[in-house]
Amino acid sequence: MLQELLTDYTLRTVALGAGLLGLVSGALGAFAVLRRQALLGDAISHAALPGIALAFLLTGSKAPLVLVVGAALAGWLGAALITSVTERTKVTYDSALGIMLSVFFGIGLVLLTYIQRMPAANQAGLDSFLFGQAAALVARDVQTIGLLGALVLLLLAIFWKEFKLLSFDAEFAGTLGFPVARLDHLLTGLLVVAIVIGLQTVGVVLMSAMIVAPGAAARQWTNRLGTMVLLAGLIGALSGVGGAVVSARAANVPTGPAIVLLVSSIVAVSLLFAPVRGLVWRRLREWREGRALRVDAVLVDLYAMASQHESTGHPHSRRALDVMSETSASTRKTLRLLRVLGLARKVDREHWALTDDGVERARRVMERQFGGSA
């Protein structure tokens, strides 16, 4: 497969384009996820459609740069309107997103159908922005993606410190004298560019996943912003290349959905298995802690009963422990575990006693719990 990737010109072009867009949208998307703007990407990508159609109508050109500029202007206008509506009226952010997304898209659709019915207009290819058509990517498209993507990443690197501060504590940034509103516009503008360069490959509908998913997955693996953004870019790039390859190899698998399903699986794996934050690890930790608590509780109970006798190794019945235990669960399993750990021994069928190690640990537990007063 790797060989094919290197030798097949079409596949190489497509994979390179998809990888680049994944890299850029992943990196910018990480910021969108952290700033709770995950759905803004969805709105921007839909809002870009009339821009593409208008750019074609006005210039008659299908040059990728022309269409991307049109898309970016419309997407940016949509984002600005969302902010304006939320700030000036009681209409909430989610409604403003929904309105801009659907209305801009509707207008785009009107324009597209209008163009289609224009006599002799060579509109072929504009449709690909709806659902994405990676297979139609040519070298010129990839150059545009690469150029704009590099510009976006460069600006992100230059203003890294400012964007980090803006995302964490915009108000504090304001007191330090940074122009918060302008920085916010710049970061949103970069997000807009990251989105529009991906539209042709992934399509308007699925582009939001390319913004949200890599960042959401990357967040689970690290607690550092730099690592997160880098990782999100890598996950995006990997999904882009992977999706392009799968789509090229398998019959009837469109690129957009292939990329999205790939990146969604990475999210699922990250949520489950990422160390520390992952759900599986968290469950395991909870289970371990719960077990440790049960072990300690039984140890202390045994110790408390035994300390009423001369020897702390004095055996007691399991029933008595069940009565003392605060949980209704049987202590049998815990006792068995104690024996495996060498903290208690079974005297006969029903009776259990602490070993020396057990006495030692029970004392330590009680010291911790009661501050040594016991």
Partner 1 sequence: MGPSAEIQLIAVVVAVACALPGVFLVLQRMAMMSDAISHAILPGIVVAFFLTGDLGSPLLILGAAVTGLLTVALVELLRKTGLLGEDAAIGIVFPALFSVGVLLIARYAGDIHLDIDAVLLGELAFAPFNRFTIGGMDLGPNALVVMGVILALNVLLLTLFYKELKIVTFDAPLAAALGFAPGVVVYGLMGMVSVTAVGAFDAVGSILVVALMVAPPAAAWLWTERLSVMIGLSAAFGVASALGGYQVAHALDASIAGSMAGMAGVIFVVSFLAAPGQGLVPQFLRRRAQREAFGCTMLIIHLLHHEGLENAAEECSVRHLEDDLRWEHAFASVAVRTAVGEGLVQRDGDALALTRGGRAEAHRRLVVT
Partner 2 sequence: MAWAARSNPRPLPNKDAIEMTEQPDMTPDVIDVRDLTVAYREKPVLWDIDLRVPSGVLMAVVGPNGAGKTTFLKAILGLVRPAAGSVRIHGEPYRRVRSRVAYVPQRGSVDWDFPTSVLDVVTMGLYGRLGWIRRPGRRERELALRALDQVGMESFADRQIAQLSGGQQQRVFLARALVQDADVYFMDEPFQGVDATTEKAIVELLQELRERGKTVLVVHHDLQTVPEYFDHALLLNVRRIAAGRVEDVFTEENLRLTYGGRVSFARAAVKA
Binding site for partner 1 (CB under 8 A): 33, 36-39, 41-42, 46, 85, 88-99, 101-114, 117, 130-131, 205-206, 208-209, 211-213, 215-216, 219-220, 251-254, 256-258, 260-261, 264, 267, 271, 277, 279
- 198 or 214: CB nearest partner 2: 214
Tokens 């690890």 correspond to what residue?
Answer: 281
| Contact partner at residue 97 from partner 1, partner 2, none, CB < 5 to 8 Å by partner kind | partner 1
Residue 114 or 172 having the CB closest to partner 2? 172
Shortest distance in whole angstroms from residue 160 CB to partner 1 = 22
User: What phi and psi, each to the nearest 5 degrees, are found at residue 317?
Assistant: -80, 150
For the chain, the first-to-last Cα distance in angstroms comes to: 68
Structure tokens at 73: 């202007």
Comparison of 105 and 163: residue with beta carbon closer to partner 2: 163
**The two structure tokens encoding residue 127:** 């449709």
Q: Which is nearer to partner 1, 38 or 155 (CB)?
A: 38
Q: State which residue, 159 or 273, has the beta carbon closest to partner 2.
A: 159
CB of 11 to partner 1, least distance (A): 19
At CA 26, angle to CA 78 and CA 76, rounded to 5?
15
Output 128 or 220, the one with its CB closest to partner 2: 220
> What does 37 bind: partner 2, partner 1, none (CB cut-off 5 to 8 Å by kind)?
partner 1
Question: Can you tell me the distance from the alpha carbon of 130 to that of 202, in angstroms, rounded to the nearest whole number?
Answer: 8
Sign of the CA dihedral with 17 first, then 18, 22, and 25 last: positive
Least Å distance, CB 58 to partner 2, is: 37
Least distance in angstroms from the C-beta of 82 to partner 2: 20
Residue closer to partner 1, measured from CB, 241 or 258? 258
To partner 2, the closest distance from the beta carbon of 57 in angstroms equals 40
Contacts 24+ apart (CB under 8 A), 172-178: none
Cβ at position 350, least distance to partner 1 in Å = 44
- Return residues touching partner 2 (CB under 8 A): 34, 158-162, 164-165, 167-169, 171-178, 219, 222-225, 227-228
298 contact, one of partner 1, partner 2, none, CB 5-8 Å limit per kind: none
What are the DSSP calls for 150-194, one per residue? Answer: HHHHHHHHHTHHHHHHHHH-HHHHHHTT--HHHHHHHHHHHHHHH
With vertex at residue 51, the alpha carbon angle to CA 48 and CA 56, rounded to the nearest 5 degrees, is 135
- Residue 107 near which of partner 1, partner 2, none (CB within 5-8 Å, type-dependent): partner 1
Q: How far is the CB of 143 from partner 1 (least distance, A)?
A: 27
- Residue 226: exposed, middle, or buried by beta-carbon count in 10 A (0-12, 13-18, 19+)? exposed
Which of partner 1, partner 2, none does residue 23 bind (CB under 5 to 8 Å by kind)? Answer: none
Q: Kindly give, in sequence order, each residue whose CB lies less than 8 Å from that of residue 52, ignoring residues fewer than 6 positions away.
A: 67, 70, 71, 74, 108, 126, 129, 199
Nearest distance in Å: CB 128, partner 2? 36
Minimum CB separation from partner 2 for residue 28, in Å?
Answer: 16
CA distance 42 to 110: 20
CA distances from 16 to 22, 30, 77, 105, 258 (A): 10, 21, 30, 28, 15
- Which among partner 2, partner 1, none contacts residue 370 (Cβ within 5 to 8 A by kind)? none
Q: Which two tokens stand for residue 35?
A: 């700033």
Residue 159 contacts which entry, partner 2, partner 1, none (Cβ below 5-8 A, type-dependent): partner 2
Indicate which of partner 1, partner 2, none lies near residue 316 (CB less than 5 to 8 Å, by partner kind).
none
User: Which amino acid type is present at position 227?
Assistant: T
